[in-house]
Structure 1
Amino acid sequence: MRVNDETRGVSSARTDTAAHRALAHGRELLRDGPVADACSALLRAAAGLRETDPPLARRALLAAASAAWAAGDHDSYRRVFTVGPCPTCGAGSESTLCAEGCPEAAWRSHRIGMSAMVEGDFRRAHAVLEARLRQVTTRAETNELREAGEAALLLGRLPTARRLLGLALASARSAGAEARVPGILAHLAYAELREGRHPQARAHAEEGVALAQRLGQRNVAADLSAVRALVLSIAGDLPTVRARIADVLAVAQPHGLAQAAFLAEWAQARAELGAGKVERAAARLAPLVRPGARQGHFGLWFLAVPCFVEACVLSGRALDATEMVDLFAVWADLGADPQAPAQLARCRALVAPADRSEELYRSALAHHEQASGPYEHARTQLAFGMWLRRRRRPTEARTQLRDALMGFERCGAALWAGRAGAELRAAGEVAGTGEAGVLSSLTPQQVRIARDVARGSTNKEIAAELSISIRTVEYHLRNVFTQLGVRSRTGLAHLMANVGEDQGRAEPGPI
């Protein structure tokens, strides 16, 4: 009997040592390595520590969940939060909470809530997790604050997520836990991005990238770089965005970072949409949002649907967008994204018959008043203003377009502010004292078309960007050639190359 006890003790010690090694290896891979391998190592560690060190086993499971999320592995993520009978109070079914006072109660309720969220039952998830979020105080430990912040983020409680993650960041810094800071910054920047706080998201993302790179946390740096690319996609130019995306994919592809890769692809499509490259944007987003084996991250694909719908409509493929609007409606109805109802109404307006569009646009604007997010609000105002202008209602259009312009400027969306400004001028807003130099004879629309042609855009691309017909582009281009005395697109490009960049910005008035 004594021999058997000693044998079991040696075996247990070996198992415990192997579990600790698996835990250390999994954590290292989660920071810088293939995240699928990290998930496997962490699940193995959790199994080995379940009997000897339950609190550490839970930490291993939560780290495995992070790895599964980063990898876009829905099955493994679901498996982490599968709930069995409670060994202490005997609570049996997957949805049964522990008895009051049970030491397993907090952990079990977290898993039940997260499991409900994974299955799309956000009402159940809210009911279980909301009470726990309210119990977290400023005195909580860094890990508890971070975990609560991440849960709030997944539930769509964005202000709560920002508050908890901000507290986690302060806690980590005051404790000197520098290695934890980049991961917290990644979640905080993403929460700010989701809420439309782009300047703050960029500041935290850039700080996090620098620190993660210095600490050798390449996976975390890739996540932060993806958030930074999404901010730049509405503020910068396409070459800059592409350079940042290359940084992300250099790590995301070999390490299997599905979340970072998805955000990077979305960033590039959003930049293309803002620059008027609508067909490219639609083609890039299609496999990410449509159901099937190539669909993007299981927990993120819906975020890119509004961009896909707009890109399809502007490129003349409204039928391709209709199915996705219906799928997005299912997501919006779950109540996990405060901006989704407004985005859904805007998407419906984009694909609806003309006699219903105005009602849907106004519904979208009403929903925006109930949720923060200046960028998405301005996107709706721009779309509605464009719709009004094309129906020869310039006075109403200018009201929406002015609001859109100010909204984009407030959130640092320079690329979209330029679009709103061009639409506002086309609607008759006088923005200056007149054009100087060789462009003085052109209308604002003609100046823009001339510049786009000089940059190499086709008539089809320009038509999609300006939401006009190809025939209208051809008409304006013929007038441009006549007014400027050139005979070809090449001649126009040479002429425009010698025109100062400040020409074309102060435009004389309505088209």
Structure 2
Amino acid sequence: MTVQPTLERRSRPHGRDAELRSVAAVLDAPRRGGSGLLVLLGDPGMGRTALLDHAAASFTGGPVVRVPAAPGDCRVPGGGLRALCDALTARGTVRHPAAEEEPTGAALADALRAASADGPPLLCVDDAHVWDERSRRALAAVLRGVPRTGPVAVLVTALRRHPGSRDFAGLPSVVLGPLSRRPAGCVVDDLAAGPVDASVREELVTEAEGNPALLAFLAERLSPARLAGCVPLPRPLVDTAALRRVVSPAPDELPDEVRALLLLVAAASEDDTAGGTAGGTADAALVRDAARGAGLPGAVFAAAEAAGLLVWSSGRVGCATVPLRRLVYEEAAPARRRAAHGALAAALGGARNPLARLTHTALSVQGPAPRLAAALAAEAAREGARHPHHERSAALARAAELTTGTGARGERLVAAAEQARLAGLPRRARELLAAARATGGHDAVRGRVELASGVLASDDGPVVDAYESLCAAAALLAPYDPARAMAAHLAAADAAWAAGDVTACLASLDAAAVPAPCGSPARPDGSAPEARAAGGAAAAGAAARNTAVNGPVAGPVADGPVADGPVSGGPVAGGPAAWRGGGGDEYPAGLRAALRGRLDLARGPLRRTVERARSGGADPAGLLRAGAAALVVGDVAAACRASARAVAAARASGSAGLEPRALEYLAYAELRAGRHGRARAHAEEGLRAAGRAGQRNVAAHLHAVLALALSVEGDEPGVAAHAGHAMDSARRHGLAQAAALAQWASARTDLSRGRAPEAAARLRPVVRPVVRGGHFAVRVLAIPCYVEATVLAGQAGAARSAVEEFAVWASLGADPQAPALLARCRALLDPAGAGDWYERALHRHESVSGEFERARTLLLYGKWLRRQRRPREAGDRLREALVAFEQCGARGWAEMADSELRASGSAPRSRPEGGLARLTAQQMRIVRLVADGATNREVAVRLSLSPRTVDHHLRNVFALLGVRSRVDLARIVDRADPADAAAPAVPAVPELRVEPPRAHPGDTSGHSAVRTAG
């Protein structure tokens, strides 16, 4: 029986919406005269009993009969059946079996029928898997006949993978999986007696790994002061006492051979407690070889699997649950752990996997072992080896433990931290950096610590703090490591960019341009040469040594004071250390020229950066640099190609720390290209990746991207939610650019709803000069919206100077949409000559992509024509705008065009009504393909999305339309529009999502305010 923590405050079942709906259907069945049955399966601690508690508290149809499992039920034949009959006969009038009589399934069925005398009962059987075999089989037989017993609701819980649960196979069931991060955080808040610090909540959620019982135990034993962040958390946070609360059976209750096998599996797993948290499974062939070498019989595998302790998948094996694996490893004696790693090292003899072999060898010895440490660090740093980042980090951390010299140990710890960051393990990276900082050591080591700490803070922390750390790192590294010193300067510029400090940004770029001293001072710390190389993303190369350190990229500014000049931003590449040599200084040189308004000087270096990436390899850093440079020079297609390749390269290299940024830059590039649907899909995926990697600053910018995309679709609640998330992080971490983008998105939503004064008020701080609070990379791009809002609000005088500034920006040629938008602004400010200006704007729109901005020009033109008493011409323009808005899914804007059509006396174009009209454009495309019979994977290929994104959208559609199956969904589509339902929604697109889908040409031109900092 699973042990549940005893708490004064019980948490609500957060994150169990699907399971609660299934339980509700069971409870509702007796009210309709039928019967309901559900088996709740889950690993230990997943909340099976909590769901029973919730069901019992909410059931009002009749008596509630609870039958918990007792320790003796699994030892006495028929004991579980007797306990159940005892509980039921206490409610009914059926004869109780005598003590000497053995209860039967028939007696149980009679007792179940008799218990309904006072109304349809709810029968809750908890932990039925621990019953004796006879009782389990009798209960399962009765449950299969429940529909014939009359109105009754039955809920049974059983441990997933337990041998006793197999008797309930085939019955209606749901499996309770781990909680996602947000519901887990809500559980912590519910259980805490006072406020919970955000960082403490995040750590509890991470450590519990989605296990509600473990989360409850951690919250129970932490004092209010620790939960509030006033007192440091104990280390380790999850110890063996905590793990024992959610592991059943405990390792010491298992046979010795089974326990030895589980220890081998735990030691061989990808997250073998030495560094990572990815995977949790091991190569089955390796474990078999090691088990054979350790003298374990082959039958032990079958015994462990039959007991539900092992799981197999595609040639890999793992412990049944994460807590079991952790407890097996941590409870083992150190000598047994070393022996397990020694057996694995022996099984990996030769060149099968040199890094894993050396790592297991290092874990099988007691330190120090300098020669082994040097060999391990050298292999972890080997260029061209396809070792995952978390394995490199684990190897370098172990090499540091076996190292004698403080200098070399510090460098290896820093290198391990850099690899942990690239693996998407920021907490582990910070722990390693703290250990490296404690070694003291040479300025070169201290500089690397500050560099890595600053990059982590750029991803998740106040960017002003990140800037100071990075400046300090540059000063420490300059005499010893010029490449990393330049990386620190460029990362500092990136942090200044995010904070909106253009002066600091230029200062850092200028410092990065100072030539490195000829020769570096001797290193007095005696650090090992391979430790210096080990800090790289792909091992030793400087091209990846600090990958994902984002350098700023900007569009040109107008001549005049830099602080007040318009700047366009583009996404930034990682890996500034790669910019030295071979023309590598061209990218930062182009940035400096662009920031100073000299686009003529910036174009050459930046275009060469794009060409170099096009003909080069698949380095994510170089590809992101190319995408950024392409946006600065206005080559949007190249920016999309490079960013899409960067996403693919980050995934191929296992850079979980780079993937969120790569998706962010791709989303920005798609926005610039006017494909808001794609931008939304990439941003949603990037948001999930940023959550997994703990990158809240990246998540804030992705929220801003989503807000911008949804402001096109007219999803006002969605815009408010995402803009709110972006603003919350922006206020706490000083993300001025994210805040400006969020405000811009909210203002566009106001405009789509006809709230021009509110939109003007939102945009006024965004477009004001930088010294008064705006962001230099956003202000000029938001000017067209600001002009529209102020003119419609009757405040045209406030926009005239902004239009002249925008004219300078449009003349530079970095934004293909700018000339059309400038003509539209001129039309708004010159009512007398507006017709010519609108025609000029439409002519400009024809030469560039971007249907959304063209539709907005048509809408404004049609409104002007209507007020000029030219209804026929107004109707033509407004009808064209309505069609364009509908094609790109801009529902709010389409409603505005529809309203103007009615006001002009024209018959509006008919549009679909009913439930489907509430769906977004992306949801509607998915729905039409599903109605055609496509699977989720086929839909994902057709729309260039991930299967998880398709599943997410379908869940929302099912909830919105109130359907439960694809058949019902297809019927709704057929009833709404049979002709359209049969037509394909979009053509297939290339795998890397480079070319735009022709069926939904949206546009968010002016979205070149893409970010360049964490």
The TM-score with structure 1 as length reference comes to: 0.76
State how far apart, in whole Å, the 2-side matches of 1:85 and 1:16 are: 18
Q: CA deviation at 1:306?
A: 0.6
Q: Does 2:768 match 1:290?
A: yes
> Distance between the aligned counterparts of 2:818 and 2:470, measured in 1?
34
Asked if 1:415 is matched to 2:892, the reply is: yes
Distance 1:42 1:361 in 2: 49
Q: Letter of the 1:424 partner, please give it.
A: L
CA contact (8 A) 2:858 2:881 kept: yes
The counterpart of 2:712, out of the listed 225, 234, 242, is: 234
Q: 1:27 aligns with which of 455, 460, 463?
A: 455
Matched, 1:268 2:696: no
Find 1:371's aligned residue among 806, 831, 848.
848
Query: 1:288·1:294 contact (CA, 8 Å) conserved in 2?
Result: no
Are the aligned partners of 2:706 and 2:719 in contact in 1 as well (CA < 8 Å)?
Answer: no
Once the two structures are superposed, what CA deviation does each residue of 1:188-208 show, in whole Å capped at 9, x if it has no partner?
111211221110011011111
- Kindly state the Cα deviation for residue 417 of structure 1 after the two structures are TM-superposed: 1.2
Kept in 2: contact 1:272–1:278 (CA 8 A): yes
CA shift, 1:425, in A, is: 2.9
Taking structure 1 as reference, are residues 85 and 303 closer, same or farther at Cα in structure 2, changes over 3 Å only?
A: same
**1:173 to partner: Cα distance:** 0.7
1:346 Cα deviation from its structure 2 partner? 0.2
Shift of 1:234: 2.5
Distance (whole Å) between structure 1 residues aligned to residue 580 and residue 899 of structure 2: 62
Q: Paired residue for 2:606? A: 129
1:18 aligns with 2:495: no
| 1:148 matched residue in structure 2 | 626
- Spell out the pairing of 1:444-459 with structure 2 (5 A cutoff): none
The structure 2 residue matched to 1:40, chosen from 454, 462, 468, is 468
Cα deviations by residue, 1:172-223 (Å, 9 ceiling, x for unpaired):
0111111101111111111211221110011011111111112211110000
Matched, 1:189 2:678: no
Q: Which blocks of at least 5 consecutive residues in structure 2 are unaligned?
A: 1-407, 411-439, 519-578, 911-1014
Question: Residue by residue, what CA displacement relative to the aligned partner does 1:263-322 show, whole Å, maximum 9, x if unpaired?
Answer: 011111111111111111111111221225324211111111111111111111111111
Q: Secondary structure at the match of 1:337?
A: coil
Q: How does 1:480-491 map to 2 (within 5 A)?
A: none
CA distance in 1 between partners of 2:675 and 2:718 (Å): 20
> Residue 106 of structure 1 is aligned with which of 574, 583, 589?
583
User: Is the Cα contact below 8 Å between 2:607 and 2:629 reproduced in 1?
Assistant: no
> Identity over the aligned pairs, expressed in percent?
48
The 5 A counterparts of 1:39-438 are 39-82=467-510, 83-85=513-515, 104=581, 106-136=583-613, 137=615, 139-291=617-769, 293-354=771-832, 356-431=833-908
Once superposed, what is the RMSD of the aligned Cα atoms?
2.4
Aligned partners of 2:482 and 2:516 also within 8 Å: no
Deviates further, 77-86 or 163-172: 77-86
Q: CA–CA distance in 2 between the matches of 1:333 and 1:103?
A: 33
Going from structure 1 to structure 2, the CA distance change for 1:406 and 1:431 (only over 3 Å counts) comes to closer
Structure 1: where are the runs of 5+ without partners?
A: 1-8, 89-101, 434-511
Q: 1:66 to 1:410 in 2, by over 3 A?
A: farther
Q: Secondary structure at the match of 2:772?
A: coil
Please state which structure has a larger fraction of its residues in helix: 1
Which shows bigger deviation, 79-88 or 221-230? Answer: 79-88
- Contact persistence 1:198–1:412 (CA under 8 A): no
The 1-side partners of 2:909 and 2:487 are apart by 61
Q: Note the C-alpha offset of 1:105.
A: 5.2
The answer (yes or no) to whether the contact 1:385–1:398 under 8 Å persists in 2 is: yes
Higher relative contact order (CA 8 A, sep 6+): 1
SS in 2 for 1:303: coil
Distance 1:421 1:40, change over 3 A: same
How far did 1:411 drift? 2.2
Aligned equivalents of 1:357, 1:146: Cα separation in 2: 41
Runs of 4+ in 1 over 6 A off after TM superposition: none
Secondary structure of the residue aligned to 1:338 is coil
Contact 2:618-2:645 within 8 A present in 1 as well: no
Measured in 2, the distance between the counterparts of 1:345 and 1:328 equals 11
Letter in 1 for 2:879: R
Q: Secondary structure at the match of 1:293?
A: helix
SS in 2 for 1:429: coil
Distance 1:188 1:111 in 2: 21
- Is the radius of gyration larger for structure 1 or structure 2? 2
Q: Deviations over 1:94-136 (max 9, x none)?
A: xxxxxxxx97352332222111001011121112221221121
Match of 2:350 in 1: none
Distance 2:847 2:476 in 1: 48
Q: Is the 8 A contact 1:86 1:104 kept in 2?
A: no
Q: Distance in 2 between matches of 1:301 and 1:28?
A: 28
Q: Contact 2:478/2:516 (CA < 8 Å) preserved in 1? A: no
Contact 1:46 1:58 in 2 (8 A): yes
Q: Counterpart amino acid of 2:483?
A: P
Q: Distance in 1 between matches of 2:583 and 2:896?
A: 50
Count of residues paired in the alignment:
412
Specify the code of the residue in structure 2 equivalent to 1:261.
A
1:86 Cα shift? 7.2
- Letter of the 2:763 counterpart: L
Number of the residue aligned with 2:425: none
Query: Residues 45 and 57 of structure 1 are in contact (CA less than 8 Å); yes or no, is this contact kept in structure 2?
Result: yes
Q: Distance in 2 between matches of 1:71 and 1:361?
A: 37
